């Protein structure tokens, strides 16, 4: 099924590449726009149609976090890249993006450190702006999550692989500079294998909800904000993973954002190698949302 989706998206990109080659104006900015009939085509748009889910600890971004009271650091290396969008005269927009992030856990020592896990995520997003306030996100993705280096010495590794589809609704509140979102991630392929057993947890959903609220503006580009995210995970009988984030962010006109924030997370572990375990921790993070 995923192979068919990739083929369809590839054909769509090839078709759109012919449209983009049609005839571009010479006085364009860093993005390329072309208008044919009632539709506007933009190649590599500067803004995301849908912002990142702020308090989701596995959203696509560049980040570094420290679990307070420990030498454990959580790093994320990735982001979301809008490829093209198509809009009409009613200001309704359809946007295709690709996203990828590597999440890892590193424990620092006086000399050197220990790398615990590497979790790979790849997503294809098809976002739709239905009005100035309401948006839809659909997509397909893959993740494989592994123990690495010193993690293999400390724990018994398992094989954790997940393929999924997703569908989310997002509603924005411009005056409050906030949003709420909710949706489903359907794991149509979820396999877990340990040293003695293999578990097929396919066709299990995860329900996810969250918000961001910005109560204060502190300078031209600076804001105080808080956000929350909760996931009900089908593979652990709908046990939850929760995170609350609060801090300060600096955001430019194109919504590119730097955040410094404190987090409180509790519930089932986000790391696939420990998906059946629970944890509770405070951590401080620096985030780059591009």
Residue 19 is predicted with a pLDDT of: 37
Classified by CATH at the fold level, domain 2-289 comes out as Porin (2.40.160)
Task: Note the pLDDT tens digit of each residue in 21-50.
Answer: 333 333 333 456 677 778 999 999 988 999
Distance set, CA 64 to CA 11, 78, 256 (Å): 37, 12, 17
Which segments of the chain are extended strands (E)? 32-36, 39-43, 62-67, 72-88, 93-108, 113-129, 134-147, 159-173, 178-193, 198-200, 204-217, 222-233, 239-251, 257-268, 278-289
Note the pTM of the prediction, 2 decimals: 0.85
Which residues does the chain have with pLDDT short of 70? 1-33, 110-112
> Percentage of residues in the chain with pLDDT exceeding 70?
87
| Domain boundaries along the sequence of the chain | 2-289
């Amino acid at each position: 099924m995923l192979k068919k989706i990739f083929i369809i998206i590839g054909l769509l990109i090839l078709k759109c590449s012919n449209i983009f080659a049609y005839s571009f104006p010479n006085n364009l900015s860093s993005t390329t726009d072309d208008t044919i009939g009632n539709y506007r085509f933009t190649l590599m748009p500067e803004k995301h149609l849908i912002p990142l889910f702020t308090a989701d600890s596995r959203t696509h971004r560049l980040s570094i976090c420290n679990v307070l009271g420990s030498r454990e650091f959580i790093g994320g290396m990735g982001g979301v890249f809008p490829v093209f969008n198509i809009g009409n005269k009613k200001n309704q927009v359809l946007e295709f993006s690709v996203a990828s992030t590597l999440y890892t856990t590193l424990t620092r020592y006086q000399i050197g450190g220990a790398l615990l896990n590497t979790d790979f995520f790849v997503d294809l997003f098809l976002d739709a702006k239905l009005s100035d306030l309401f948006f839809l996100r659909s997509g397909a993705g893959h993740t494989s999550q592994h123990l690495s280096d010193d993690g293999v010495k400390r724990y018994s590794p398992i094989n954790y692989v997940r393929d999924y589809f997703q569908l989310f609704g997002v509603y924005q509140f411009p005056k409050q500079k906030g949003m709420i979102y909710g949706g489903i991630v359907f794991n149509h392929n979820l396999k877990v294998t340990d040293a003695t057993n293999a578990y097929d947890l396919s066709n299990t959903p995860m329900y996810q909800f969250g918000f961001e609220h910005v109560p204060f503006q502190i300078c031209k580009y600076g804001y105080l904000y808080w956000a929350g995210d909760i996931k009900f995970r089908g593979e652990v009988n709908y046990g939850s993973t929760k995170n609350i984030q609060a801090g300060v962010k600096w955001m430019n006109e194109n919504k590119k954002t730097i955040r410094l924030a404190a987090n409180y997370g509790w519930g089932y572990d986000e790391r696939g190698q420990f998906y059946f375990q629970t944890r509770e921790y405070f951590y401080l993070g620096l985030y780059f949302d591009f």
